[in-house]
Structure 1
Amino acid sequence: MNRDRFITPDWAAPSTVQAGTSCRQGGVSEPPYDSLNPASHVGDAPQAVATNRARLGLPGEPGWLQQVHGTRVAVLEHNGRIGLEADAAYTRTPGVICAVLTADCLPVLLCDRNGREVAAVHAGWRGLSSGVIEAALDQFQAPADQILAWLGPAIGPGVYEIGDEVRRAFVGPDPDSDEAFTPTRPDHWLMDIYALARRRLQQRGVEQINGGEYCTFTDAERFYSYRRDGVTGRMASVIWLAPDDSC
């Protein structure tokens, strides 16, 4: 992994776990995808996307998903399974890279304390409210209190305005999640997607949760933001298991 192009999690993961979220600098894509866009589905030039993916410096081709804001988890045993329809990827196989693409939605990276299993989750509000994080946790053999979570760059709570139907999707089944919403104007709210993700992780027994200090919308130098720019690139959040001597 080319660490100059990634934000790496500040967490207590074992050395066999390699993980990070790419930033937008250091690639070859032209505006509005400038410059390190690894997403092939947003209209960018295919050759530019291929070059950008190579510049990530990953040890293999990730299992790129066709993300649909659902809760399906792809269990990966080999690299390069492109186009599988799912919003999370899980593996226990060393060298297999789990990846999700985001540009405001929340990427969640998961691993167990022993470094034997990992997952990457794409959690937009639809997937988050429907249980995509819980679906990924269900794949783990380790108990929840032995799982570490890192919340990667997403749209921040000071700018993520949503309508009342989105708030109801969370507060209806979980009234106490109302604390993650701040009213702005009639039937509109600012939503803290980080707080909602932490709450769901904690409800499932995950105790060690890190990250959640970024805002893709306001930090245009480092991050793509669909809500800010419309046509734009994506960041890649990746995680895999590597032997100790190859980290």
Structure 2
Amino acid sequence: MIHKLLIKPDQLLGNGVTSFMLTKAYFERHSSELRESRSLEDFVGSKLGVPIVWLDQVHGSKVGSVHASTEDLIDACDGLYTEEENIALAIKTADCLPLILSSKEGTELSALHVGWKGLQKGIVENAILKFKCVTENLVAWLAPCISSENYEVGEDVYTLFVNSDSQSISSFISSSNNGKWLFSLKQECIRRLQRLGIEVISNQFCTFKDEDLFYSYRKNTSLKRMVTLTWRKNEK
């Protein structure tokens, strides 16, 4: 489902689970309020109505666990997992892939910041290991990220992936530029999820190409970010 201000998955991820990405258009509409806030985190927190846990994202593979007593910022971490209700998990991106994982019952949730480094180091697999349910009971939503046609990487990246998992070669296409490859973060993530029997929900957006909706670091070295959020509501 598409809206100018936010993007949601096409189906419910789990019982009571809310997930969406706040787009560039959302932040531009609220630009004056954002300027008056101390930070992006404070601004989003003032709008959401539930506590939010943020990450000091470092392009790693660490996935932290969130409990009722968890601080609102976790250092040096790129993924979150929780069984708590009414606590939102937040990911900031401007080309990297925001990945949301949920059990179909909605009792377990994870939010990941997936760049090529974290993906190659196993952040997706690390998050899945946190879940108590079987993988066939998981649903994954890949929020918008950069597409392969606009994501060129070097031979070093290609070699790292293929040496650690030969099947990763399917996510690379040789570039017209010598020694370069076009890499699909989305395809590689989907491949890793589907081989574990996980249902995947994706989209055709590109954060580089669809500039009305998204910030892109690759396109204009933007320091601004979209925010992807997920939480399970308890209305009691």
Determine if the TM-score, normalized by the shorter chain, exceeds 0.5: yes
Match of 1:71 among 40, 44, 61: 61
Task: Give, as a single letter, the amino acid of the residue that structure 1 aligns with 2:129.
Answer: D
1:222 matches 2:213: yes
Q: Which residue of 2 aligns with 1:158?
A: 149
Q: 1:150 to 1:18 in 2, by over 3 A?
A: same
User: What residue in structure 1 maps to residue 181 of structure 2?
Assistant: 189
Match of 1:104 among 72, 75, 95: 95
* Alignment counterpart, residue 161 of structure 2, candidates 170, 173, 176: 170
> What 5-or-longer segments of structure 1 have no aligned partner?
39-43
**Equivalent residue for 1:41?**
none
1:203 to 195, 201, 226: 195
User: In structure 2, how many angstroms separate the alpha carbons of the residues matched to 1:14 and 1:36?
Assistant: 35
Cα distance in structure 1, aligned partners of 2:220 and 2:12: 35
* Whole-angstrom distance in 1 between the partners of 2:94 and 2:87: 23
* RMSD of aligned residue pairs (Cα, Å): 2.5
Q: TM-score, normalised by structure 1?
A: 0.85
Call closer, same or farther: CA 1:170–1:35 in 2, change over 3 Å: farther
| Residue of structure 1 equivalent to 2:11 | 11
CA shift in 2, pair 1:22/1:28, >3 Å: closer
| Separation in 1, partners of 2:32, 2:123 | 27
2:141–2:201 Cα contact (<8 Å) kept: yes
Indicate conservation of the 8 Å contact 2:17/2:231, yes or no.
yes
Query: How many matched pairs?
Result: 232
TM-score, structure 2 as length reference: 0.89
Query: What is the rounded CA distance, in whole Å, between the counterparts of 1:95 and 1:123 in structure 2?
Result: 24
> Judging changes above 3 Å, is the alpha-carbon distance between structure 1 residues 45 and 182 closer, same or farther for their aligned structure 2 residues?
farther
The structure with more helix, counted as a fraction of residues: 2
